[in-house]
Amino acid sequence: MFKRIVVPVDRSALVARELRTALALAERFDASVTLLRVVPEGASLEPDQTQTDLNVLEQETRVLLAEALGQLSTGDHADRIRAEVRAGPVVSTILDTATEQMADLIVVGSHGRHRPIEWLTGSTAEQLVARASQSVLVIKPEGFPFLTE
């Protein structure tokens, strides 16, 4: 059903839950997974600061990749998981990456709308659902309204 899965990751607490879900689907369908870290356009333009920011993001992404590989039940599929860091507008970069990789699925977390701009544009997850030609699976945090029993 799914052969290529893109998982945009950030510093949120939902990353572990997103990874578990994406990896379970990848194992079930023998799919490849790309962990995507997007550096927003608002990054520093100072040369020293930019390199520092990129180094931090790359290191955090390597840690996420290691955690993802550690969650696999077998090491057989470790070569099918990779991490990528890209710069640009978050939603467009995710969509471009998914299209370039011919992804079948985007797995993204959502906390809801927190910033004032999101009240107008919608959260990243909402924008992806509206604009993506791929299927989008939105992961909600534990205790999210209407998800409690």
Residue found under tokens 């959502």 = 110
Residue found under tokens 């689907």 = 25
Q: Which residues contact 36 (CB under 8 A, 6 or more apart)?
A: 6, 7, 8, 9, 83, 84, 85, 86, 93, 94, 97
What is the model's pTM?
0.77
Q: Per-residue pLDDT tens for 1-22?
A: 899 999 998 877 778 888 889 9
Q: Per-residue pLDDT tens for 83-142?
A: 888 888 999 999 999 999 999 999 998 875 555 544 444 688 889 999 999 999 999 887
> Which residues in 71-100 are b (16+ Cβ under 10 Å) and which e?
ebeeeebeebbebeeeeeebbebbbebbee
**Coil/strand/helix, residue 107:** strand
In the chain, the domains with their CATH numbers are 4-139 (3.40.50.620)
